[in-house]
């Protein structure tokens, strides 16, 4: 529970100034190159046509599509993982605010790939991957940035994978990938490649460092980068793709001040998954009992969910210690911890166990917040 997540949950659509931006390269301002910016489409699928699309022509030639989708860093809640396990994780110690719920506008990747000769039949798509690359700038660990997702996910008729040129009804800014970025609703943010300039259909996942040697939930036995390499855990562990089911407690407010032995708490937070959230529950007794809360916002299939609920908590005043440092106006204080867990419409539940991994990615232990009353 932190100030960032509290600020974020005051908005259904995240304002640009609150939207996180994570990059593995310098941020390039390509405004002067917009008229000549192109995306190359190629690959090894039989019957497809190699194409080079000018971004201006693409915008003019293909229908505009809009989707609300949550952009989420794989390292969201990494600091919480380290705090809960007491074990060091490698990466920026993000709290719970590397998430942005935005309205994206662009061109469906499905439409573009069909125009390049990719078949619409699902059987023909199986076993292929769509590899995205940005060669605009060198990266920290590779010459360029790249990633991939299965072709059938891009080609799904009910999907919304797109080449986006708008965020919240305005052109993308440089740090969010102007003039063009990949948006893959329901997938972790590292697959949403910014400044995309090449799309390749391949029988293999992207060979890029950020697909093969990063963003994987290595098993707990992998205690060091050296061990990950020596025992080929990078090659043995699947790449992270779809979002897992997750929730966060953003704020707790005490609604009753006068009554010392019973408190009513208002609890708010957010939840997300690769599909809509079906319910969120909270507990103030370490998970002994759970109470369903109200989902106050959810838009379409890929937005985050905002939720709120109230809990009545009984306090054993006689059991409190009357230590001088714990007094306020002659009364002792105590901390109340509230946990949250989410469930989605596919039947998945938040994996509330706190399992550690070396990179601190994909953490989805219970949401936790505390209040002093």
Task: Give just the sign of the alpha carbon dihedral 106, 110, 111, 114.
Answer: positive
> 344-359, pLDDT tens digit by residue?
999 999 999 889 999 9
pLDDT at 50: 96
What's the pLDDT score for residue 318?
Answer: 67
Q: Which of 171, 202, 236 is the last residue of a domain?
A: 236
Residue 24's nearest CA partner among 74, 85, 66, 69 is: 74
Per residue in 187-229, pLDDT (tens digit) is 999 999 999 999 999 999 999 999 999 999 999 999 999 999 9
Residues in the chain, pLDDT under 70 = 1-2, 317-331
Question: Does residue 151 share a domain with residue 300?
Answer: no
Domain termination residue (choose one: 188, 205, 236): 236
Same domain, residue pair 344 and 362: yes
CATH of the domain at 47: 3.90.420.10
**CB–CB of 162/107 below 8 Å?**
yes
What is the tally of structural domains in the chain? Answer: 2
End-of-domain residue from the set 213, 236, 259:
236
Q: What pLDDT, on the 0 to 100 scale, is given for residue 304? A: 98
Q: CA distances (Å), 64 to each of 41, 130, 164, 299, in order? A: 19, 21, 9, 19
* Full-model pTM: 0.93
pLDDT at 4: 81
Q: Are 141 and 82 in contact (CB under 8 A)?
A: no
Q: Is residue 241 part of a domain?
A: no
């Amino acid at each position: 529970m932190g100030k960032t997540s509290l600020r974020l949950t005051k908005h259904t659509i995240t304002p640009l100034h609150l939207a996180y931006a994570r990059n593995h390269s310098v941020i390039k301002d390509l405004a002067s190159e917009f008229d000549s910016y192109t995306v190359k489409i190629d690959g090894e699928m039989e019957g497809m046509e190699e194409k080079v699309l000018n971004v201006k022509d693409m915008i003019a030639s293909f229908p505009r599509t809009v989707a609300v989708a949550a952009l989420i860093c794989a390292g969201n809640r990494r600091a919480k993982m380290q705090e809960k396990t007491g074990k060091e994780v490698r990466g920026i110690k993000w709290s719970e605010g590397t998430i942005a719920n935005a309205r994206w506008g662009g061109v469906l990747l499905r439409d573009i790939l069909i125009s390049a000769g990719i078949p619409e039949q699902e059987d023909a798509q199986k076993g292929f991957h769509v590899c995205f690359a940005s060669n605009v700038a060198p990266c920290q660990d590779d010459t360029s940035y790249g990633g991939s997702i299965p072709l059938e996910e891009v080609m799904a008729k009910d999907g919304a994978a797109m080449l986006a040129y708008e965020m919240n009804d305005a052109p993308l800014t440089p740090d969010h990938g102007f003039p063009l970025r990949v948006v893959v609703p329901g997938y972790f943010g590292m697959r949403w490649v910014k400044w995309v300039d090449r799309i390749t259909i391949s029988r293999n996942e992207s060979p890029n460092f950020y697909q093969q040697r990063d963003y994987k939930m290595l098993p707990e036995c992998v205690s060091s980068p050296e061990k990950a390499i020596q025992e080929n855990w990078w090659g043995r562990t699947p790449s992270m793709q779809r979002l897992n089911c997750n929730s966060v407690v953003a704020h707790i407010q005490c609604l009753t001040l006068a009554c010392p032995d019973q408190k009513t708490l208002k609890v708010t937070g957010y939840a997300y998954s690769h599909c809509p959230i079906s319910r969120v529950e909270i507990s103030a007794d370490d998970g002994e009992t759970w109470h369903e809360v109200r989902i106050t916002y959810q838009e379409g299939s890929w937005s985050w969910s905002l939720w709120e609920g109230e809990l009545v908590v009984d306090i054993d005043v006689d059991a409190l210690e009357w230590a001088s440092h714990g007094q306020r106006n002659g009364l002792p204080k105590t901390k109340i911890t509230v946990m949250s867990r989410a469930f989605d419409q596919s039947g998945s539940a938040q994996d509330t166990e706190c399992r550690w991994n070396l990179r601190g990615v994909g953490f989805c232990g219970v949401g936790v917040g505390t209040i002093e009353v």
